[in-house]
Amino acid sequence: MNSDFTLAIHSLTLLALQPDRMSTSEYIAESAGVHPVRIRKVLSLLKKNGFITSKEGTGGGFIFALDLDQVNLWDIYQITSEGALQPKCTDSNGQCIVGANMKSVLFSIFMGAEEHLGEYLKEYTIKEVVELVKQKETF
């Protein structure tokens, strides 16, 4: 699984806990243990899709733009990782029935798998992820 996906979840969860102020990429990067530039790349995708807004310059940063239960993990998956389930087959032998047709058969199976995964991921909104993180905290 693409780690852009988990970085996006991580970032949004952090932003969810800082609803009143902007968070810098450096702050988020430190929490996630990655480089700030990587955070900015991932967050630029989320921004394009309207989940967050950003501001440049002093005092700038990122902030959540929607209600926490308006964003679910399937939304985030689609933005950051769509197609990640698809295996990248090398071209196989077209002379052979299996070689010639396997690729498209697998393609449709994995398409279905991704849709199915979507049904699961839709059940988790950022609100719920925040709850889960808070629960862990108490133990």
Partner DNA sequence: TTTTACTGTAACGAATATTATTACAGTAAG
Partner DNA sequence: CTTACTGTAATAATATTCGTTACAGTAAAA
Contacts with DNA, residue ranges (CB under 7 A): 2-4, 24-26, 33-38, 40-41, 43-44, 47, 54-62, 88, 90
32 contributes a contact to a second copy by CB under 8 A? yes
For the chain, what is the HEC assignment? CCHHHHHHHHHHHHHHCCCCCCECHHHHHHHHCCCHHHHHHHHHHHHHCCCEEEECCCCCEEEECCCHHHCEHHHHHHHHHCCCCCCCCCCCCCCCHHHHHHHHHHHHHHHHHHHHHHHHHCCCEHHHHHHHHHHHHHC
Of 37 and 105, the one with the shorter C-beta distance to DNA is: 37
34 contributes a contact to a second copy by CB under 8 A? yes
104 contributes a contact to a second copy by CB under 8 A? yes
2 contributes a contact to a second copy by CB under 8 A? yes
52 contributes a contact to a second copy by CB under 8 A? no
Of 44 and 101, the one with the shorter C-beta distance to a second copy is: 101
42 contributes a contact to a second copy by CB under 8 A? no
